[in-house]
Amino acid sequence: MASAPSGMQTLSGLSAVADQYDGYIIDLWGTVHDGVQPYPGAVACLEALRAAGKRVVMLSNAPRPAEVVCRQLEGFGISRALHDGVMTSGEEVRRLLRERDDPWFARLGRRVLHVGGTHDLGLYDGLDLDRVADPEEAQFILNTGPDAERGTDSVEPYLPELRVGLARGLPMLCANPDRVVVKGGRRMICAGALASFYEQQGGSVRWVGKPYTDVYAPVFSMLGVPQDRILAIGDALETDMRGAAAAGIAGAWILGGIHQEMVGDDAALAAAEAAAEGLHPVATLPRLVW
């Protein structure tokens, strides 16, 4: 174990600090899997955490219900025995749309324009919403990200409806704050990129998911351990590490995810990048390995 200049530990595996924490909040895409398959060592690491009696909750900015993500993990060979639950930004979006006890949500109408792929439509199951295809008829936009058929490289294919939304003053609900993701080695934009454009153009955006603290409350309940004994693990500085800091818990930064091209395995560069963002993870890991 080594230390970077900021005091951030440079670990080769999680076992070096496992005795310091009882609960683990683990990101999925970029940490456990790449959208196609688990990363080498990730499943074995989860098995080792469970064997050590640790509590584990998966926290993802996936814009879909937690149960859908649970089943996806099972398809990757990650059984429900390897975690104490899954929480997603999509699950929180569903709660907020269902309960409408938040003032921003209370003002929303029922007619919604969906911006995203058909694989995200499970988000609407059981909700009293009317999906419309014409932005001129919508009362708000629910943004789950780009559609693979329309393109995942830029916001360009989505400008027509976004511009109508801006002209009409439609509020946008962003169900995935991530801006980019790497799927099977290919980088593509996420819902956060569309929401950033909308916000920069003067649109009203409500972001749900990491790094915003609301999504952590149900996770803490699932873990049931003191917050000073919780470690959040993820590959994104802006969502995983900033979210951990906002929630008041320690963070371990996976360098082999979306920041791989930027920092590689350079501990000093990683510490400098984190510090430049005002973030101070307790450690870095190359991957989620034991």
- Residues 53-75 pLDDT 10s: 999 999 999 999 999 999 999 99
User: Do the beta carbons of residue 3 and residue 274 sit within 8 Å?
Assistant: no
Domains in the chain with CATH codes: 2-90+211-285 (3.40.50.1000), 108-207 (3.40.50.1000)
Q: What is the pLDDT of residue 3?
A: 40
Per-residue pLDDT at 2: 42
pLDDT tens track for 161-190: 999 999 999 999 999 999 887 676 677 889
Mean pLDDT of 197-216: 97
Q: Check residue 264 and give its pLDDT.
A: 65
pLDDT of 1 higher than 70: no
pLDDT, tens digit, 9 for 90 and up, residues 99-145: 999 999 999 999 999 999 998 999 999 999 999 999 999 999 999 99
Q: In sequence order, which ranges of 41-172 are alpha helices (DSSP H)? A: 42-51, 66-75, 89-99, 103-106, 159-168
Q: Alpha-carbon distance 279 to 10, whole Å?
A: 15
Residues 260, 264, 267, 269: is their CA dihedral positive or negative? negative
**Per-residue pLDDT, 206:** 98
Tell which wins on pLDDT, 180 or 21: 21
pLDDT in tens, 69-106: 999 999 999 999 999 999 999 999 999 999 999 999 99
